[in-house]
Amino acid sequence: MSSTTLDGIGMPSRMGFLRGLRTRLGLRKERPRTVDFLSTAKHADHEPLLGIEIGRKTYGVGKATLIGYYPNDNPLSVGSFCSIADEVVFFFRTDHRPDLVSTYPGYSIASTGDLFDDSVFKGPTVVGHDVWIGYRAMIMPGVSIGNGAVVAAGSVVTKDIPPYAIVAGNPAKLVRMRFDPDTVSVLQAVQWWNWSPGKIRANIDLFRLPGPEFATRIEETSNQSTQPASAP
């Protein structure tokens, strides 16, 4: 937080956060190998930064660290209402080539300027909506984490995670599903994370319910709205 300024309530200001991020990403000086982002604790809407897409209300508690380089085609997408714990690490385009004579990166093996990029890009890393990633979890390149998933602290995610799954371990494996299949189906269809702030406020009582009860209430409301009007 030392590179950001603080606003009147002790939170890092948006401009200070962006200024610090630009510095770390090399827009103000040489780009470092490790880049901190989501270091603000604000529950605020973020704007796209250098191809990194972050949804509304997503926050990082402390530092979430990126390791790698930034290709042009959105290496990382994080959905809305995600909770990113301290010291989470996202890897992307960082795999070394074990089939070449040396695993050392080609872009820096020589000092002659005759460099080559032998890094392996496995595609964008996608984190869905309403995802909770625990302390010091590691997310390997090219994986997708489904909506509503939970990644336990210290986990190493090497494969895709289905929606509303709880995973843990190295490599991360399924512990259990948060909800039954019918509830998951309703939540996936409703997509409450796309509701407007006004709609969320108007339905705030629903968010105090367990998942299955939330789904039941949503279905009841939907059925009532689709029933034909009674004859006079």
Q: For residues 134 and 169, give the distance between their C-alpha atoms in angstroms, rounded to a whole number.
A: 12
- What does the pLDDT look like over 82-122, one tens digit per residue? 999 988 988 876 667 788 888 777 666 666 555 666 667 77
**What is the residue extent of each domain of the chain?**
14-178, 180-232
Does residue 130 register a pLDDT over 50? yes
What are the tokens at 50? Answer: 């250098």
What are the tokens at 73? Answer: 């085609």
- What does the pLDDT look like over 34-69, one tens digit per residue? 444 444 333 334 444 556 788 999 988 556 667 665
Q: What is the per-residue pLDDT for 202?
A: 95
Q: What is the per-residue pLDDT for 214?
A: 98
Architecture of domain 14-178: 3 Solenoid (2.160)
Q: For residues 195 and 205, give the distance between their C-alpha atoms in angstroms, rounded to a whole number.
A: 15
**What's the 3-state SS for 171-214?**
CCEEEEECCCHHHHHHHHHHCHHHCCHHHHHHCHHHHHCCHHHH
Dihedrals phi, psi of 186, to nearest 5 degrees: -65, -45
Top-confidence residue, 48 or 137: 137
Does residue 201 register a pLDDT over 70? yes
Q: For residues 163 and 173, give the distance between their C-alpha atoms in angstroms, rounded to a whole number.
A: 14
Which residues are tagged catalytic?
96
Does residue 129 register a pLDDT over 80? yes
